[in-house]
Structure formats: structure tokens, C-alpha cells
Amino acid sequence: MTRRVVVTGMGMVSPLGTGVENNWKALCEGVSGIGPITKFDVSDFPTRIGGEVRGFKAEDYVDKQQLRRLDIFIHFALASARMAFEDSRLKIDPSDGDRVGCITGSGLGGLTMLEQYHSVLIERGPSRVSPFFIPGIIANMAPGMIAIEFGIRGPNLSIETACAASSHAIGEAYRYIKEGRADVMVTGGAEAVITPLALGGFCSMRALSTRNDEPEKASRPFELNRDGFVIGEGSGILILEELERAIQRNAPIYAELIGYGSSADAYHISAPDPDGRGAATCMKAALADAGIRPENVDYINAHGTSTKLNDLAENKAIKAVFGEHAYKLAVSSTKSMTGHLLGGAGGVEAIYTVLSLKNGILPPTINYENQDPECDLDYVPNKARKKAISYAISNSFGFGGTNATLVFKPYEA
């Protein structure tokens, strides 16, 4: 018998704030979290804006001894996990820790600390490189530290599939529970790569918006005058739980995760298949796994990066999968407010999708001023909209042509 998987806890850190409640309020109000980059001198960069996490106090969530030993992306992951545990009222008994696992995703891992210690090596020599450097930057230390903190002794994995990493992590965690290999999974992802090296690399690719004078208007997915994505940072962590276990402990149940798909474009190292074939394959696989028809879907939280090629390819993919129904469903990109959290995007956007279902509200795509004739769907322009949602999907696509789609529905007993 296939087991049902529900979301019982959520925690997040994003450019819109710390905590789920703060994020949801800002999202519904169409607030932009984009501003000038303040972490380092950006005067020599063509792009000088980003979605920085502001006002976050890592010491509120991370042991003081660990703060300097761990990269910022792990701080974000631990903070989000702690919030998710509190939200879920989940306590792991030593007797069942083997049935609880953790899978998270990250696109680049600890790039902040990597750049820091590269400077230490060059300027002060190898003897001054910290013994905590390597464990402090590796991507699997996020789920590793979450496991150490909460006594999780089951499956423990880190997934690195670029900007699809968090969604792949959630999808694989879902499969562990669905197939009976675990009862609870802590999952999502984190990213913190607003650094000189990452910014320089993305600038060289001409992938970023250069709307430096209007940072809050720079991320404009599907809009005619979009000129690139805006780099962001943060984390989103969800508690997935087998339904009967969740009911037995009277856990809050936010939504049910019912489908997961993954695919590859097999096309290019960074550009998407221009016809969206890989993305379409992925969405079809997720709908098949969920056992629903395309016309059942009411809302898509799009990958929607605000780049010319990605938005157009996703638009084509949606129309290929949904046909005429594509013009009846709502599509919005919350990246218009958060920027692109890269490997952390899927975790944050899965939470936004769950909240959309729970509250019957479609988040807007802000900065939508002029329609692109080639992107012709309902993108919930500029203002949130009330609507009961029966089924919703969340898309994440990454460099190398890797794709992930999650399908959620409201929980029904």
C-alpha cells in the first residue's frame, strides 16, 4: 500500500525576512526583498544588486561555538530546521531516530567560507587555514548538522543539482516515506553565495539583471523587459511525515505532497531546451506520479527566473503539458520578490506553494508592466489574488538541464 506524505512543519529564511509568517505577509503584499549588495564592495561589478538576507541573527539558532566553524548556508539551514521542528511540534525519541532522515539541497555549498580561507592561504600561509575549513563548507554538512542537532539517525543525504537541488531533495525525501523507508524526513535546502566570486561568475555569463538604479524592480519574470535574474540567498526547510504518524501525534498538517517528477534536457550546460521539452517531461512525470490530469491543476509556482531564455522555455513547457488549460490556470513567480536563491529556491518556493494552498491565495508576480507576446499566460500580475486551489505544482530547473517538479494538494482526511 502506498503511504501518504504530508507537510507538518516549515521554517525559512529569505530576503523577505526570517520565519514563515513574515515571508507570507510580505509575499501577499507584493514586497520586494531586492536591494543594493552590502556584503562587499561591488563598485567594479556590472551588477550591484541582490536579495540579501537582512536582520538575521544566526546566534539565535546556532550554537556560538559552531558559528565560526560553519558557512552561512549551514546557519540558514539550521535556523530553518529549528523553526520547522518548533512549528511541527516534532520531538525525536531515541527509540525511533532511525526512522527519521534528512535530505537537503545546495547548489554551491560553502562558497563564502571558501573565498575567505583562500585569502587566508594566499596572504598568511597554509598553517593559518582552520581545521574546520573543510567540514565547514561541504554541502552535506547542512543535513549532517541538522542530524547532529536533532538526533536524526536515518537516511542523510545532500543533493547538488544546481537550482533544482532543493526540489530534488524534497522529492527524494517524499519517496523515502512513500516507499516505507522512513517515517519522517527533514528536507529542503539552503544557499548563501552572494560573494565576489559568484557575482563575478554570473556577471561574466551575462545572466544577471543590471537594473542597479531600481533594484526592487529588477526581478520581473515573464515580463517583456526582463534582463536577467537577481541573485538571492536563504533557506527553506519542511518536515514531511507519514500521514498516520502525523495524525497519531496530533501534528499540524498543512498540505499533502502527492507527486514528484525529474528529468534532463540533455541540451546545454546552462541554457534550457528552447522548446521546454525537458521541463514538460518533468511536469508530466510529476502529474503521473500524483495520479491527476493536467486540467486538475489550478496553480503553478514557476521557476520563473526573469531571464529571457528560461522564462520563454518554461512558458512553452507549460503549454505543451496543459494545452488549452494553460490559459485557465494561474502561474506566478515568487522570484520576482525574493530573487533567485539558486539551490535554496526549491525549498522556499515549496513552502510558498503550500501556503498558497492552505490560505487560498495566489502570490503575485510583481514588476509585471509590459506583456511579452511570447509569454502569454496568467502570471497573477502585481497583486495577490484569492482563489481556492485544488492542486498546485512547484517547478525548479537547473544548469546542466536538470529539472524537478513537485505536486501538492490540500490535506483531506
Q: Which residues are the active-site residues? A: 163, 303, 340
Whose cell is 535556523? That residue is: 79
Burial class (CB in 10 A: 0-12, 13-18, 19+), 96: middle
Under a CB-based contact definition with an 8 Å cutoff, are residues 166 and 105 in contact?
Answer: yes
Backbone φ, ψ for residue 45 (5° rounding): -95, 140
Q: What is the dihedral of CA 276, 281, 283, 285, to 10 degrees?
A: 180
Contacts (Cβ under 8 Å, ≥6 apart) of 43? none
How far apart are the C-alpha atoms of 145 and 126, rounded to whole Å? 26
One-letter amino acid of 206: R
How far apart are the C-alpha atoms of 273 and 280, rounded to whole Å? 10
DSSP for residue 223: B
One-letter amino acid of 150: F
* Type and span of the H or E element at 65: helix 64-67
Kindly give the residue spans of alpha helices, DSSP state H, lying in 237-327: 243-248, 277-290, 308-322
Q: Is 343 helix (H, G, I), strand (E, B) or coil?
A: helix
Under a CB-based contact definition with an 8 Å cutoff, are residues 71 and 115 in contact?
Answer: no
Whose cell is 538576507? That residue is: 53
Strand partners, 184: 100, 241
Taking the CA atoms of the chain, what radius of gyration do you get in angstroms? Answer: 20
- In a 13 Å sphere around the CA of 401, the CA atoms on its Cβ side amount to 17
One-letter amino acid of 165: A
Contacts (Cβ under 8 Å, ≥6 apart) of 32? 215, 216, 217, 219, 336, 337, 366, 367
Which CA distances in Å does 35 have to 48, 53, 162? Answer: 9, 10, 24
Q: Is 341 helix (H, G, I), strand (E, B) or coil?
A: coil
Under a CB-based contact definition with an 8 Å cutoff, are residues 143 and 237 in contact?
Answer: no
**β-pairing, 5-14 with 255-264?**
antiparallel
